[in-house]
Each structure stands twice: as structure tokens, then as C-alpha cells.
């Protein structure tokens, strides 16, 4: 058996237990695919990551990202949480104030700003949603068509069906049929809050097809929603989104578009540090 340094990090929050937990295994080069998947299934968190030596000379580290149901080429909260754990364990980036992560979609830039980090959203691929695709999803969500202002397929590594709803209250009221969604799509919903609050949008992410009925806070989804909505003029270039409210979390995702690049940021805090023996 081999021992590995291990951390469990709460992401998109500076208050422990209020974000999205992430299991991080350091120095995991000796683990094979089956062991990584088995451990991710055992933790039963939305994602578990494994830090490896980079094969790209420009990267600071390489990461593989697993859900209980399979591997992802990219995901947002694992990116920020893995970066936090790597730095906390003594990682030193090649460029001060910036970290380069290697993962399934290639290199992902991360910039450091005090206690908060932000990743550069990968390129987004979009496609229209047909009525035949949309109808069963709305039924599974219990939505009326008039409550959906816009719909779009969004793909920046993970593929989501993005829905812009009429208001945050509609987002929070959803009671999805997760069994139905499992055979349909991963669905991300977003709706605006009333003006004047700390958060401009409310987000929920339903990922039953990969074994996660509702994700507490989802960086990749927030990235693709931001690219889509900012790009079409439906959201401002800077905003804060809340996610996880219905799960008794208080995730806060900080979005900023700078020179055409969308950055997705948040705090992370380590809750557990120890060793893993496999």
C-alpha cells in the first residue's frame, strides 16, 4: 500500500461547510484509472481530484478530475480547490501571482488575488436547443415554457443545457425529477435577483447523468453561463452569483469579463488534511 497526502477543501466560500467540498489527493502519479475512479466513488463528493506531475512544460501541475460516475476533462470548483490545495502544500508557481493548470482540456490559467483565485473560462461551444430537446427537460423540472427566457447548449468541457429563467425565485422553487433528468441532460438554471442585493443571479446545477443530483456550487457551469449571457448582453460584465442556497450552502461565484476573457473566481478553505492509504 502507498500513502498519499490528502486534503478536503470547501470551494467558493470562505466559511467552512458552506461551499462545495472537493477531495484532493497529492502526488497521485502511482494510482491507475481504476483506483482513481474507485476512490472518487467512495468519497461520493461531486468531484475528487488527483494532482500529478505536469507533462506540459508550461504547467505548474497536472490534475485529473473524477465524479462518482466518471472522469471530466475540466470542472471549475475542482480547478480552484486543487490550486488552493497545491499552493497550501508548498507549490510555487513558475510565475508569481499566476498558476497554470494542466487538465483534460489543456492549460487553464488561474490568477491569484489575495485569498481569492479565479480561473480563465475555457473556450465555449454553443448550440441551439430544439423544442423536442427542451420539452422533456421542462417537464422534469416542473417549469412552464413562459418561465424560460432563453435556452442554449453550453460546452466548455462539461456539456450543460443552460436555461435563463424569469427570476431567482423560480430557480429556488424548482423540485426536479432527478430520475427523469438522468437520461436527458445536465441542466444549469440561472435567474436574476432583484436589484440592490449582494448577488445579481441565483444558479442551480442538476447533474444526474453523472451521479450528482444537484451540485452545491459549479464553476464550469457558472463559466459557461457567464460567457453565454455576457456575450448576448443578458448579464453585466461583472456580477456575483449565488449557488447552493437550497442545499443550505452559501456559495459565491465572482464573475468578471476582462478584455474579452471571462474569469470565474471564489474563495477556498481547507477543512480536512491528512493521508490516504491505497
Nearest to 73 by CA among 8, 157, 14: 157
Q: What are the chain's domains?
A: 3-122+265-277 (3.10.310.10), 125-254 (3.10.310.10)
Q: What percent of the chain has pLDDT over 70?
A: 100
Scored b (16 or more CB within 10 A) or e, 227-241 reads bbbbeeeebeeebbb
Spatial CB neighbours of 181, under 8 Å, sequence gap ≥ 6: 137, 140, 141, 187, 206, 208, 209
| Residue indicated by cell numbers 490550486 | 83
Catalytic residue (one of 47, 88, 115, 214): 47
Task: Identify the pLDDT of residue 133.
Answer: 98
Task: Identify the pLDDT of residue 210.
Answer: 84
What is the reported pTM?
0.94
pLDDT digits over 53-70, tens only? 999 999 999 999 998 889
Nearest to 162 by CA among 131, 192, 210, 129: 129
71 is catalytic: no
pLDDT digits over 7-39, tens only? 999 999 999 999 999 999 999 999 999 999 999
Amino acid at each position: 500500500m502507498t500513502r498519499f497526502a490528502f486534503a478536503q477543501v470547501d470551494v467558493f466560500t470562505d466559511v467552512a461547510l458552506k461551499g462545495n467540498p472537493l477531495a484532493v489527493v497529492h502526488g497521485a502519479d502511482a494510482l491507475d484509472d481504476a483506483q482513481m475512479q474507485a476512490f472518487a466513488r467512495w468519497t461520493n463528493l461531486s468531484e475528487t481530484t488527483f494532482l500529478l506531475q505536469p507533462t506540459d512544460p508550461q504547467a505548474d501541475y497536472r490534475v485529473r478530475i473524477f465524479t462518482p460516475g466518471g472522469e471530466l476533462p475540466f470542472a471549475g470548483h475542482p480547478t480552484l480547490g486543487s490550486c488552493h490545495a497545491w499552493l497550501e502544500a508548498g507549490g510555487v508557481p513558475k510565475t508569481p501571482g499566476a498558476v497554470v493548470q494542466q487538465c483534460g482540456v489543456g492549460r487553464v490559467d488561474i490568477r491569484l488575488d489575495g485569498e481569492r483565485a479565479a480561473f480563465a473560462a475555457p473556450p465555449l461551444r454553443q448550440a441551439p436547443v430544439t423544442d423536442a430537446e427542451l420539452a422533456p427537460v421542462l417537464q422534469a423540472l416542473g417549469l412552464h415554457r413562459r418561465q424560460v427566457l432563453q435556452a442554449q447548449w453550453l460546452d466548455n468541457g462539461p456539456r450543460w443545457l443552460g436555461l435563463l429563467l424569469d427570476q431567482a425565485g423560480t430557480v429556488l422553487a424548482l423540485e426536479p425529477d432527478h430520475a427523469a433528468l438522468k437520461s436527458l441532460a445536465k441542466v444549469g438554471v440561472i435567474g436574476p435577483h432583484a436589484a440592490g442585493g449582494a448577488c445579481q443571479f441565483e444558479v442551480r446545477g442538476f447533474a444526474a447523468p453523472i451521479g450528482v443530483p444537484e451540485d452545491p456550487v459549479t464553476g464550469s457551469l457558472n463559466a459557461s453561463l457567464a460567457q453565454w449571457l455576457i456575450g448576448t448582453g443578458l448579464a453585466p460584465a461583472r456580477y456575483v452569483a449565488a449557488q447552493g442556497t437550497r442545499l443550505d450552502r452559501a456559495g459565491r461565484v465572482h464573475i468578471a469579463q476582462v478584455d474579452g476573457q471571462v474569469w470565474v473566481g471564489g474563495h477556498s478553505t481547507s477543512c480536512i488534511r491528512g493521508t490516504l492509504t491505497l
